[in-house]
Amino acid sequence: MKNSKSKFVTKTILKDSIVESFKKLNPKYMFKNPVMFVVEIGFFVSLISTIFPSIFGDKGSNLRIYDFIVAVILLITLLFANFAESIAEGRGKAQAETLKKTRRDTKAKLLDSNGNTKIINAGELKKGDRVLVEKGDIIPNDGEVVDGIASVDESAITGESAPIVKEAGGDFASVTGGTKIVSDWLKVRITAVPGESFLDKMIGLVEGASRQKTPNEIALNTVLVSLTLIFLIVLVALYPMASYTGASISISTLVALLVCLIPTTIGGLLSAIGIAGMDRVTRFNVIAMSGKAVESCGDVDTMILDKTGTITFGNRLAAEFVPVKGADKRELIDYSVVCSLKDDTPEGKSTVELGYKLGSGVEKNKYDDVHFEEFTAQTRMSGVDLSNGTSVRKGAYDAIVERVKKLNGNIPPDLEQIVNKVASMGGTPLVLCVGNRIYGVIYLKDTVKPGLVDRFRRLREIGIKTIMCTGDNPLTAATIAKEAGVDGFIAECKPEDKIDAIEKEQSEGRIVAMTGDGTNDAPALAQADVGLAMNSGTTAAKEAANMVDLDSDPTKILEVVEIGKQLLITRGALTTFSIANDVAKYFAIIPAIFMAAIPKMQVMNIMRLSTPYSAILSALIFNAIIIPLLIPVAMKGVKYKPMKSETLFLRNMFIFGLGGIIAPFVGIKIIDMLITPLVRILSLN
């Protein structure tokens, strides 16, 4: 499902969006967007004025032409606004069609109480039924593995080709309908009824069918409606003022003035921005269960993260070679590399990598024929036997000490101190010996993922506090926290401690995000304002969260927060641009209305527009074409850089506020120059 690099708009989406733009002209649909509904009323008023000019007292054929032009421009404005929303919806529907291809008329092997199987349609399965899925079978619906172990191809859902091992118990027992068994078999207990599976929910969400307006969107919509009412009152008051001064204002001019002054730009793009925000999250392979979840990401103040798998790799990797007193560090490094050349564990590979990084001169091809002793729970060590009879071993402190003593070797007096120091820092000490001589310790530690320090710094710049949760002791936790650059940590953390931490932050008015994948994470995921569950995790975790990461990458919460921030910034930036537009339109239309009756109003015609009619039509045309020009910004989002809220606000006010004032002055003047000859031909003067 990964398609972040897919085309912005395909031919199919473009074609469907044009058709939808006309369908959405239905007043029942337009009523949901009050600002654009006012524009539609204005269109009908201008159209009626064109057909029946006597109704509004308008006289003359040239005025009917003017009314008709206004009506056409208003219709185009409506179509452009509908087109913006349809483009956003079209991208979601295209993703939904991709997902629907994975949903087929699957057969299921229903198990009865005696373990016998019966072939039925997947649609007949009920919650609680048990089914058998074998190699090559499609899992018929969402469920929990109750028996068996198998590799599952989840590429239809996640886009990743590598199969995932699923087994009963633990955090990898959840399976998704539509995925395929590629090896062995599983017995699955169905946990969802047909039509309510995870795949069905995904399809509904990306289609936009389940999208509800978010609180921020509702609040902004209320502001836009209020501004519209204010300008409507101003317009009502303006008509008698114009009559008093002797200025004659046609009904279409009043409509044009109202449409230009109300925030039509953001009104036409508002819905598209919200849909596009969810679309960006979905293309990032995260399913948001609601638009509110995406917006909440933009408001996050505190992020609670598990250590293992999120901040660290979870595998203990070689970090340092510590020689005992009297031993040569170069020899310790070389023997550690020799001992690990055939060790395919993460510890072994990291030892070789670190050794060569520190300048080891060991030549791999010289040790192709050495005998390798694998690590076992009984010996608690691994190593190689060289062709000259020398044995090299690395392993647990007590196991190596016992081996050296049996070979009549001496135990270095500082060995125990080195081992204890490594252990106190949360590391794992591997002691290395050659024959009966101990050379030193390989310090293994849980390594912080690369790039996280910078990402945590970026989060700190935008005012987000990070808290690491770990079951490690306080000393180890402090070491990892300092290395990773998180703001705080909770050591020896239990599931209830996460809930307590979330509630504490929320009680102080903060919005909290966290990740999790296990059943024990479900309560905390439900408590958090943004809960990101791993798709590989349990059903309980996915049901408790309001976002699901299909790639099961816990660090993705960092990017998801930035997407949420980008959504809010995009909406704010375009709102600022839209309202700033009205200032320039005011200087275009108001002088045009009153110049004939009050010649001194010419001073306000700072754009030096040719005629009153060309000024009004230019402002109206600019008002229409700015909507499609801003569709790419609404869809892709305003470029986001981590910085403090105050700095970000001032930056966007400067770029979009000032830009929103300057752009209409330039655009309206250019349009006026282009249409002035046509206005004169039509005798609109």
379 is in an annotated binding site: yes
Compare 22 and 551 and report the one with higher pLDDT: 22
Looking at residue 516, its pLDDT comes to 78
Of the candidate ranges 43-47, 208-212, 283-287, the one whose mean pLDDT is the lowest: 208-212
653 is in an annotated binding site: no
- The Cα–Cα gap between 478 and 603 comes to 69
Q: What percent of the chain has pLDDT over 90?
A: 17
Element (H, E) at 561: helix 556-594
The three-state secondary structure class of 439 is strand
Residues 532-557, mean pLDDT to the nearest whole number: 76
543 is in an annotated binding site: no
Residue 453: which pLDDT band, with cuts at 50, 70 and 90? confident
Residue 321: which pLDDT band, with cuts at 50, 70 and 90? very high
306 a catalytic residue: yes
Q: Please provide the distance, in angstroms rounded to a whole number, between the alpha carbons at the two ends of the chain.
A: 58
| Phi, psi dihedral angles at 515 (to 5 degrees) | -115, 160
129 is in an annotated binding site: no
CA within 13 Å, CB half, 200: 12
Most confident of 2-16, 63-77, 329-343, 634-648: 329-343
Q: State the burial class of residue 43 (Cβ atoms within 10 Å of its Cβ: 0-12, 13-18, 19+).
A: buried
Residues 541-567, mean pLDDT to the nearest whole number: 79
Contact 111, 187 (CB under 8 A): yes
Compare 123 and 458 and report the one with higher pLDDT: 458
Looking at residue 631, its pLDDT comes to 85
β-bridge partners, 665: none
Residue 95: which pLDDT band, with cuts at 50, 70 and 90? low
Residue count of the chain, please give it. Answer: 685
Amino acid at 308: T
β-bridge partners, 373: 383
Convert the pLDDT of each residue in 412-429 to its tens digit: 999 999 998 888 777 889
Provide the angle, in degrees to the nearest 10, between the axes of the packed helices 34-51 and 61-100.
140
382 is in an annotated binding site: yes
Strands 547-549 and 530-534 turn out to be parallel
- The Cα–Cα gap between 429 and 329 comes to 16
91 is in an annotated binding site: no
Q: Is the pLDDT of residue 385 over 90?
A: yes
The three-state secondary structure class of 459 is helix
676 secondary structure, DSSP code: H
Looking at residue 445, its pLDDT comes to 83
Q: Considering only CA atoms, which of 564, 575, 577, 532 is closest in space to residue 551? A: 532
- Taking phi over 0 as left and psi of -120 to 50 as alpha, with beta for the rest, 309 belongs to left
Contact 536, 171 (CB under 8 A): yes
417 is in an annotated binding site: no
Residue 5: which pLDDT band, with cuts at 50, 70 and 90? very low
β-bridge partners, 144: 174, 189
The three-state secondary structure class of 153 is strand
Of the candidate ranges 135-144, 509-518, 565-574, 595-604, the one whose mean pLDDT is the lowest: 595-604
Looking at residue 2, its pLDDT comes to 44
Q: Is the pLDDT of residue 4 over 70?
A: no
Residues 89-112, mean pLDDT to the nearest whole number: 65
353 is in an annotated binding site: no
User: Which residue is associated with the tokens 């002088």?
Assistant: 591
Report the mean per-residue pLDDT for the chain.
81
Residue 172: which pLDDT band, with cuts at 50, 70 and 90? low
The encoded tokens of residue 646 equal: 């105050």
- The Cα–Cα gap between 511 and 660 comes to 32
- Taking phi over 0 as left and psi of -120 to 50 as alpha, with beta for the rest, 57 belongs to left
User: Any idea what the Cα angle at residue 88 is, between residues 87 and 94, rounded to 5°?
Assistant: 85
Looking at residue 131, its pLDDT comes to 86
β-bridge partners, 111: 117
262 secondary structure, DSSP code: S
- The Cα–Cα gap between 576 and 681 comes to 38
Most confident of 26-35, 94-103, 237-246: 26-35
- The Cα–Cα gap between 550 and 2 comes to 10
Neighbours of 166 (CB within 10 A): 27
* Residue partners of 680: CB distance under 8 A and separation at least 6: 611
43 is in an annotated binding site: no
Q: How remote is the C-alpha of 360 from its chain's centroid?
A: 43
Q: State the burial class of residue 55 (Cβ atoms within 10 Å of its Cβ: 0-12, 13-18, 19+).
A: exposed
Q: Is the pLDDT of residue 209 over 50?
A: no
Contact 192, 564 (CB under 8 A): no
The torsion angle over the Cα atoms of residues 81, 663, 635 and 15, rounded to 10 degrees, is 50
User: Which pTM was predicted?
Assistant: 0.63
- The Cα–Cα gap between 36 and 220 comes to 14
380 is in an annotated binding site: yes
Query: According to the 3-state scheme, what is the secondary structure of 326-341?
Result: CCCHHHHHHHHHHHHC
Output the CA torsion sign for 348, 354, 355, 357: positive
Of the candidate ranges 206-220, 434-448, 589-603, the one whose mean pLDDT is the lowest: 206-220
| Active-site residue identified among 279, 306, 472, 549 | 306
Q: Is the pLDDT of residue 290 over 70?
A: no
- The Cα–Cα gap between 34 and 416 comes to 76
CA within 13 Å, CB half, 109: 15
Compare 81 and 175 and report the one with higher pLDDT: 81
Residues 59-76, mean pLDDT to the nearest whole number: 82
Element (H, E) at 567: helix 556-594
517 is in an annotated binding site: yes
Q: State the burial class of residue 249 (Cβ atoms within 10 Å of its Cβ: 0-12, 13-18, 19+).
A: middle
549 is in an annotated binding site: no
Q: State the burial class of residue 507 (Cβ atoms within 10 Å of its Cβ: 0-12, 13-18, 19+).
A: exposed
- The Cα–Cα gap between 147 and 532 comes to 27
Q: State the burial class of residue 232 (Cβ atoms within 10 Å of its Cβ: 0-12, 13-18, 19+).
A: middle
Residues 145-169, mean pLDDT to the nearest whole number: 72
376 is in an annotated binding site: yes
